[in-house]
């Protein structure tokens, strides 16, 4: 029996298919389409490609992410905070604090010893600190987003960004270029600015180790390195692609739901 989790975010769609033991048998990460339903269908199709699986093999699917109500093949939807918590917990049961940096929001989550949510905070007043902030700033600097992390690690003298606002930060970056600041130092400054926000969010929920990062930003090694420095601890590794943790959690919830239904 297979179970699916589909995480439709603002910038990407993710699909995870697991077996009855919770092992990932198929997955995908696709760029978001304009319409959420299209993103979900593309994520599903991409995950199943070359796997000799089809949609009917998946007994139960849960949708998550901001587009969770628009996943056509999902039987129900569950919020991404719950899904990220369970996904991260299943990938490393020692995790107690999780920071999920999504395209349009950031969440700090305290995870309990059963993979449930103990507490959480979300940013919701602005885009500062989100994946969108990184993307737009990198675009302004003509740096591919996947190069942000490695390049920032080359910096010896990160600049200090004073603007928290994504829009004003763009102007500040332009000024820094005009001042002939080194590109790597600007990139490190961008990571440092986000790191400070993430750390303060984690402290709001009484940070407790182990700490992990989920979402696409977890692949930014420069930011992870700074987080470790600021927190004075090593980030926990997870036994899955960190960008897939939300979809994995959704798939695990799908398995629970299906089993509960089967038990009557």
Partner 1 sequence: MERLAETEGVTLARNIETWEKRLALVREHAPGTSSENLCTAWRDYYTRIERARDEGKKLAWVSFFAPLELLHTLDIVPFNPEQHIIAYLARGEEHELFDLGVGAGFSKSCCSPHLAAVGAAKEGLLPRPDFLLSTSAPCDSNAVMFKTFQYLFHTPCHFIDNPYRYDDEAIRYLAAEIRDAVAFLEEHTGQRFDIDKFREILRISNSIHRYHCEINDLRKTSPTPLRGKWAFSLVSLKYMSDGTPATLRYFEALHRDIKERVEKGEGGVPEEKRRIMWNGVFPFFHMKLLDWIEDEFQAAVLAVLSYDDFFLAGNTEWDLRDPFLALARKMLFYSGICFLGPFSHETQMKGLIKMCREMDVDAQIYFAALGCREGCGYMRLFKDTLKREVGIPTLILDGDPGDSRVVSVEQMKLKITEFFRMLEGV
Q: Give yes or no for a contact between 162 and 121, defined as CB atoms under 8 angstroms apart.
A: no
Compute the least distance from the CB of residue 220 to partner 1, in Å.
25
Of residues 62-81, those binding partner 1 (CB under 8 A)? 78-79, 81
Contact between 82 and partner 1 by CB under 8 A: the answer reads: yes
Stretch that binds partner 1, among 43-51, 119-127, 229-237, 238-246 (CB under 8 A): 119-127
Q: How far is the CB of 29 from partner 1 (least distance, A)?
A: 23
Is 199 one of the binding residues for partner 1 (CB under 8 A)? no
Quick one: which of 56, 124, 179, 263 contacts partner 1 (CB under 8 A)? 124
Among 42, 117, 182, 221, binds partner 1 (CB under 8 A): 117
The owner of tokens 């930014």 is 220
Q: Which two tokens stand for residue 150?
A: 């490695």
Identity of the residue, 125 or 180, whose beta carbon is nearer to partner 1 in the bound complex = 125
29 alpha-carbon distance from chain centroid: 11
Binding-residue total with partner 1 (CB under 8 A)? 16
Residue 182 near partner 1 by CB under 8 A: no
208 binds partner 1 (CB under 8 A): no
Secondary structure of the chain in HEC code, one letter for each residue: CEEEEEEECCCEEEEEEECCCCCEEEEEEEECCCCHHHHHHHHHHHHHCCCCCCHHHEEEEEEECCCHHHCCCCCEECCHHHHHHHHHHHHCCCCCEEEEECCCCEEEEEECCCCCEEEEEECCCCCCCCHHHHHHHHHHHCCCHHHHHHHHCCCCCCCCCCCCCHHHHHHHHHHHHHCCCCHHHHHHHHHHHHHHHHHHHHHHCCCCCCEEEECHHHHCHHHHHHHHHHHCCCCCCCCCCHHHHHHHHHHHHHHHHHHHHHCC
Min dist. Cβ of residue 82 to partner 1 (A): 5
Which range in 39-47, 112-120, 133-141, 182-190 contacts partner 1 by CB under 8 A?
112-120
Q: How far is the CB of 100 from partner 1 (least distance, A)?
A: 12
Site for partner 1 in 215-254 (CB under 8 A): 253
Out of 25, 122, 153, 183, point to the residue binding partner 1 (CB under 8 A).
122
* Nearer to partner 1 (CB atom), residue 112 or residue 157: 112
Instruction: Indicate the burial class of 229 (C-beta count within 10 angstroms; 0-12, 13-18, 19 or more).
Output: exposed
* Nearer to partner 1 (CB atom), residue 82 or residue 191: 82
Which of 121, 153, 183, 221 binds partner 1 (CB under 8 A)? It is 121
Binding site for partner 1 (CB under 8 A): 78-79, 81-82, 114, 116-122, 124-125, 204, 253
């Amino acid at each position: 029996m297979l179970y699916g989790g589909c995480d439709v975010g603002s910038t990407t769609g993710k699909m995870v298919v697991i077996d009855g033991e919770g092992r990932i048998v198929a997955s995908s990460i696709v760029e978001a389409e304009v319409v959420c339903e299209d993103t979900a269908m593309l994520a599903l199709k991409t995950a199943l490609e070359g796997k000799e699986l089809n949609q009917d093999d998946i007994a139960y699917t849960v949708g998550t992410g901001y587009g969770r109500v628009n996943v056509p093949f999902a039987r129900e939807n569950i919020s991404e905070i719950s899904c990220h918590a369970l996904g991260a917990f299943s990938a490393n049961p020692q995790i107690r604090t999780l920071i999920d940096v999504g395209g349009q929001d950031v969440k700090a989550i305290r995870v309990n010893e059963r993979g449930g949510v103990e507490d959480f905070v979300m940013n919701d007043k602005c885009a500062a600190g989100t994946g969108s902030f990184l993307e737009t700033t990198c675009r302004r600097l003509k740096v591919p987003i996947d190069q942000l992390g490695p390049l920032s690690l080359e910096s010896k003298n990160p600049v200090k960004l004073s603007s928290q606002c994504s829009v004003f930060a763009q102007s500040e970056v332009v000024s820094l270029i005009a001042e002939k600041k080194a590109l790597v130092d600007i990139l490190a400054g961008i990571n440092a600015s986000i790191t400070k926000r993430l750390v303060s969010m984690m402290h709001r929920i009484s940070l407790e180790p182990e700490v992990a990062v989920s979402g696409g930003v977890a692949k930014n090694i420069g930011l992870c390195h700074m987080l470790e420095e600021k927190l004075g601890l090593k980030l926990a590794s997870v036994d899955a692609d960190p960008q897939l943790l939300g979809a994995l959690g959704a798939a695990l919830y799908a398995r629970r739901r299906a089993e509960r239904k089967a038990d009557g």
